[in-house]
Structure 1
Amino acid sequence: MSAGATAAATTTAAALTIADIDAPFHDARSDQLTYSLVEPRITPLATASADVQVTAPDGTTRSLRVELGVLGTSHQVTVTLPEDHRARGRVLVRETLACLSADARGAAAESDSDADAGSDPGADSGADAGAGTAGPVPPHRRSKLATGTIDVAHTVHEPADLSGDVAAALASASAMEVSCAAGFPGDPDALTILGCDADDEALVWRTWHSYPQAGEIVETRTRFVPGATR
């Protein structure tokens, strides 16, 4: 799917609006996906964003800006400092799950490549070595960044009732503080679904990628605990 494609229409499932994308999937199977914390922003085909408040152990609260983006190649979640922060817009973490061939990466990111140059948290000397690489989707991975700690867990399901599992994912996402979903042509169950909530001092987001052609649902759960920000 090209980065310039847009949502053609919307439908609604429970409280979650589903953007109907007028373009096919880039990725049709889970084994084509790559996980990365160092990709530049890729123009999303559908997006939702909100300021989400987290609470530190000492009881203090702060807001973080969360953008959930559906890509033709799966998803990108970006956490930044909010508009009322003196370092507003600074990227704390950006998670990308996508089909990232070298050619697709360059083409997809072209229009946004300069939007936040120099703000990559994985490039900081405080990040662990693994945070600066893209690779296969891990069953579990913890990365220490200069901006916090991120844990991701990934599973692939081959459900007997794919439609039922998709409906359950939509219900779960719609109950979260910010959520986003997009449907692709050819099958009503060809959906990408994202949702994010606060969990005390952490942001927790979950994603579901349904591939009816392969009879698979790829599910991820990510927990990001931000460090101190100035």
Structure 2
Amino acid sequence: MSGIALTTPYLDTDADQLSFTLGWPAHEALAVRDLTVGGLAVQLRLLGASHQVFAGPVRETVACLPGVTGGLPNTAVRSFDNWTYRFTAHCEHLTAEDFTVRVEQIRSRADAHPRALYGIFPGFHEAVTALTVDRHATGLSWCTWHTYPQSRQIVATQTRLEAR
């Protein structure tokens, strides 16, 4: 899938503004992709330089949210019904050259992936939010990337949802 050229201005300026929540209601999305993966309904949602993933019992949001303190956990583990949910996040600060290479790798990976959604912001070809989802024997996993050209930061998250 090729990236979606978004028409919304790029507003997020720093990775530290992102927060993590579970169970947050659906926000107005810039783009949505509905999928069925491993028998589960999955919805990938782009929210500016942020995302929501709805998969089975999970509603994951990584975004700049009003009233929620910024900062992502390194890890989070929860139980939902008969599922185990594991979330990890890390932020890279890169040189200008490495940032450009890494953003191109993210875009290429999303382009080649059969279950991806990503957006590119106007005037900032390196401002990208990308999501991919994969099936595993016991569940699903998804990866996301949020790129910040001004600070040359990339926030990457990985989530695994496994049946117990």
- Output the amino acid matched with 1:154: A
Q: Is the 8 A contact 2:15 2:155 kept in 1?
A: yes
Instruction: Write 1 or 2 for the structure with the bigger share of strand.
Output: 2
In 2: Cα distance, 1:189 partner to 1:226 partner: 36
How far is the alpha carbon of 1:100 from its aligned partner?
Answer: 0.4
- Output the amino acid matched with 2:58: V
Using structure 2 for the length normalisation, give the TM-score.
Answer: 0.90
Identity %: 33
In 2: Cα distance, 1:175 partner to 1:97 partner: 24
Instruction: Tell whether 2:6 aligns with 1:41.
Output: no
User: Which runs of 5 or more structure 2 residues have no equivalent in the other structure?
Assistant: none
In 2: Cα distance, 1:27 partner to 1:147 partner: 36
Using structure 1 for the length normalisation, give the TM-score.
Answer: 0.65
- Partner deviation per Cα, 1:66-115 (whole Å, 9 max, x = no partner): 111100250000114xxxxxxxxxxx11100000013xx9xxxxxxxxxx
Kindly indicate whether structure 1 or structure 2 has the higher relative contact order, using CA contacts under 8 Å at least 6 residues apart.
Answer: 2
In 1: Cα distance, 2:91 partner to 2:135 partner: 25
4+ residue runs of structure 1 moved beyond 4 angstroms? none
- Partner deviation per Cα, 1:166-201 (whole Å, 9 max, x = no partner): 111123333434100101122110110110001211
Equivalent position to 1:138, from 66, 70, 73: 73
The equivalent residue for 1:167 is 104
The equivalent residue for 2:52 is 76
The equivalent residue for 1:29 is 14
In 2: Cα distance, 1:185 partner to 1:174 partner: 18
In 2: Cα distance, 1:196 partner to 1:38 partner: 19
| Counterparts in 2 of 1:70 and 1:147: CA distance versus 1, 3 Å | farther
